[in-house]
Amino acid sequence: MMKQSVHLEPFAALGPETSVIEAIDRMEEMKVSDFPVVNAEGIYLGLVSEDALLEYGDDNAPVTKVINPANAHFVLPDAHYFDVLAMVVQYRLTSLPIVASDGTYQSAYLLSDVVEFFRNTPTLMQPGALLTMSVDQSQYSILTIANAVEQNDAKLLGLWLIAPDLPSEVKMVLKLNVEHSTPIVQSLERYEYRLDGISGDANFELDYKERFNHLMNYLKY
């Protein structure tokens, strides 16, 4: 469960009679731009946004007047951390309510806590090269990638798909447990993978220059 891994500070929701100006003050205090609202029985009603509060004409009105029914995002207590991250990113939330199956508000994940959780994962913290690569969809294979990495005495710590440059392509970021990635890049290039970018490999630029110089010397003859 996500909340067993992420440190959660007490995050009390706004009550139905909380005024607009009080809600703005709470947002400034908690450094968020979204805040959960509950009714008198503690049932989750939805999120109120800072923009909606600032645009509302009456500072003394209850926040229930400002809630947008479409802005009622939440996750269940046993939500997977990837689902939490996806929800936060998709809706650009700074807080994401945790709501029980009976609708009772429990707490909320803060964006800062979610980011800190992922930042501290071994996949991101362990040193190693990051490769951004593209390949035609017909050529994409996780097995091929894993084999190319492991045959060069390395391990694939993570793989993320990102938006491709062309609809017919798959674009990805590979995280390796080694910093010297030239042999892995060369292996993947044989399967028509294209290198778009690299980070965390100080030797790559030197290797690339050496390969380029060898090619130029070859062409001279």
User: What CATH code is carried by the domain that includes residue 75?
Assistant: 3.10.580.10
For the chain, the three-class secondary structure string (H helix, E strand, C coil) is CHHHCCCCCCCCCECCCCEHHHHHHHHHHHCCCEEEEECCCCEEEEEEEHHHHHHCCCCCCEHHHCCCCCCCCCECCCCCHHHHHHHHHHHCCCEEEEECCCCEEEEEEEHHHHHHHHHCCHHHHCCCCEEEEEEEHHHCCHHHHHHHHHCCCCCEEEEEEECCCCCCEEEEEEEECCCCCHHHHHHHHCCCCEEEEEECCCCHHHHHHHHHHHHHHHHHC
Question: Does residue 213 register a pLDDT over 80?
Answer: no
Is the separation of the CB atoms in 95 and 36 below 8 Å?
Answer: yes
The whole-number pLDDT of residue 219 equals 57
Inform me whether the pLDDT recorded for 214 exceeds 70: no
Q: Are residues 200 and 171 in the same domain?
A: yes
Residues 136 and 88 placed together within one structural domain of the fold? no
Per-residue model confidence as pLDDT tens digits over 11-32: 899 999 999 999 999 999 999 9
pLDDT tens digits, 136-188: 999 999 999 999 999 999 999 999 998 999 999 999 999 999 988 999 999 99
Residue 110 pairs in a beta bridge with: 95
Find the largest Cα–Cα distance for the chain: 84
> In terms of pTM, does the model score above 0.75?
no
In one-letter notation, the amino acid at residue 190 is R
**Could you tell me which residues come within 8 angstroms of residue 147 by beta carbon, excluding any fewer than 6 positions away?**
none
- 93 and 167 part of one domain: no
Q: 113 and 133, same structural domain?
A: no
Q: What is the pLDDT of residue 206?
A: 53
Average pLDDT over residues 61-89: 90
Work out the pLDDT band at 10, boundaries 50, 70, 90.
confident
Question: Looking at residue 107, what is its pLDDT?
Answer: 93
Q: What is the pLDDT of residue 46?
A: 95
**Residues 33 and 67 placed together within one structural domain of the fold:** yes
Strand order in the sheet with 156-162: 156-162, 169-176, 130-136, 194-199
**Same domain assignment for residues 148 and 113:** no
Contact 98/106 with Cβ under 8 angstroms?
yes
User: What pLDDT does 69 receive?
Assistant: 82
pLDDT-based confidence at 216, cuts 50/70/90? low
Residues 29-45 pLDDT 10s: 999 999 999 999 999 99
Kindly tell me if the per-residue pLDDT of 204 is higher than 70: no
Q: Domain residues for 35? A: 2-119
Read off the tokens for 70: 């479409």
Answer yes or no: do 176 and 213 share one domain.
yes
- For 205, other C-beta atoms within 10 Å of its C-beta total 10
User: Is residue 145 domain-shared with residue 206, that is, in the same domain?
Assistant: yes
pLDDT at 205 over 80: no
